[in-house]
Amino acid sequence: MNFSPSLADVLQSADLLIAAAIAEDIGSGDATSLAIFPPHAMARATILAKEPGVVAGLPVAKAVFAKADPHVVFTPSLTDGAHVKSMDVMVNLEGKLVSLLSLERIVLNFLQHLSGIATLSSEFVRAVQGTNAVILDSRKTTPGYRALEKYAVRIGGAQNHRRGLYDMLMVKDNHIQAVKSISLAVRRARQSYPDLPLEVEVDSLEHLKEALSLPVDRILLDNMDLATIHQAVMLGNNRVPLEVSGGVTLENVRQIAETGVNYISVGALTHSAPGLDISLEIIS
């Protein structure tokens, strides 16, 4: 039931984003760098971690240079998924000084954002270590960045939920409200798309009881407090995998996991992860 973008998916999505980033940031040229430096001046630089975290996005960073100036030599000193500390060298660069300076912000924007997601994902995974709960992301992604952000989640050790509205049936509160029946919504969904996995969202124990009688693959417990989640797990009795969503934080995720739920989805992994502090430094 989970979508995991391959590196090929990521780079295909990144290609359009990289082109757009170059167009919006560099435009007709980096006026400052072009004014100060000869066009063929060469330089070396490093990309450094400025705080501890998990690295994600190095293939995307390499693709930025390859697209804008394929003569830049991009030599990573580690791989995606590596844990870094402050001042660790992530990449060594060599090429035209103007290229290095012009592409600095574009490269760092990708690396900081994706590494921030990977770092936060790893913190949630570490928080539930020793339980059976799996940390999932959601569709709360930056438009156009979904494959990249879900890739970064996976690099951080969490797993991916559905890719979009087309690869999994998810009967949510508004679907149920519109037809006034969980059973009717599930029946129509299952009849129309019998081969797709189906998850149904419930917000009470009464709705959970109804959902447990239906042909569903997973049940989402939406915005339930800890005591109600405990009751839901006992009521479910391992008949259907249970997922928790809503109000999940690093402070309470361990308690949620210890109830015995199977999955915990966290929208914050992608919509609220702070960027990892990374810099590009010219060294000669």
What are 155-206's pLDDT values in tens digits? Answer: 999 999 999 999 999 999 999 999 999 999 999 999 999 999 999 999 999 9
Residue 1 has pLDDT above 80, yes or no: no
Query: Beta strand 218-222 with 198-202: parallel, antiparallel or unpaired?
Result: parallel
Catalytic residue from among 146, 201, 218, 243 = 201
- Which amino acid is present at 244? V
pLDDT of residue 144: 95
Could you tell me if residue 128 is inside a domain? no
- DSSP, res 273: P
Could you tell me if residue 57 is inside a domain? yes
Catalytic residue from among 44, 50, 67, 140 = 140
> Which band of pLDDT confidence, cut at 50, 70 and 90, is reported for residue 5?
confident
- At 280, is the secondary structure helix, strand, or coil? strand
Identify whether the C-beta of residue 258 lies closer than 8 Å to the C-beta of residue 19. Answer: no
Catalytic residue from among 30, 104, 123, 222 = 222
Active site includes 199?
Answer: no
Catalytic residue from among 85, 126, 172, 239 = 172
5 vs 42: which has the higher pLDDT: 42
Residue 7 has pLDDT above 90, yes or no: no
CA–CA distances in Å: residue 54 to residues 136, 149, 183? 17, 14, 43
Could you tell me if residue 138 is inside a domain? no
Is this model's pTM higher than 0.85 or not? yes
Phi, psi angles (nearest 5°) of residue 242:
-115, 140
pLDDT of residue 177: 95
Query: What does the chain come to in residues?
Result: 284
Q: What is the DSSP string of 176-244?
A: HHHHT-HHHHHHHHHHH-TTS-EEEEESSHHHHHHHHTS--SEEEEES--HHHHHHHHHHHTTSS-EEE
pLDDT > 90: what percent of the chain?
96
**Count of structural domains within the chain:** 2
Shared domain check, 88 and 169: no
Residue 238 has pLDDT above 90, yes or no: yes
pLDDT of residue 6: 85
Name every residue whose Cβ is closer than 8 Å to that of residue 15 and which is 6 or more positions away in sequence.
63, 67
Shared domain check, 191 and 165: yes
pLDDT of residue 3: 65
Identify whether the C-beta of residue 57 lies closer than 8 Å to the C-beta of residue 148. Answer: yes
Active site includes 140?
Answer: yes
Average pLDDT, the chain: 97
> What's 41's domain CATH number?
3.90.1170.20
Sign of the CA dihedral with 191 first, then 192, 197, and 199 last? negative
What are 83-122's pLDDT values in tens digits? Answer: 999 999 999 999 999 999 999 999 999 999 999 999 999 9
The CA radius of gyration of the chain, in Å to the nearest whole number, is 23
pLDDT of residue 2: 60
Could you tell me if residue 255 is inside a domain? yes
Shared domain check, 164 and 63: no
> What's 213's domain CATH number?
3.20.20.70
Residue 262 has pLDDT above 90, yes or no: yes
Active site includes 201?
Answer: yes
Active site includes 172?
Answer: yes
Shared domain check, 232 and 173: yes
Catalytic residue from among 44, 105, 187, 190 = 105
Q: Which residues constitute the domain of residue 90?
A: 7-121+273-282
How confident is the model over 34-52, as a mean pLDDT? Answer: 97
Active site includes 105?
Answer: yes
Structure-token match 């992604």, residue found = 141
- In this structure, what token pair is assigned to residue 16? 């359009």
Shared domain check, 277 and 261: no
How confident is the model over 77-88, as a mean pLDDT? Answer: 98
Ranking 2-11, 58-67, 235-244 by mean pLDDT, the lowest is 2-11
Could you tell me if residue 167 is inside a domain? yes
Shared domain check, 73 and 55: yes
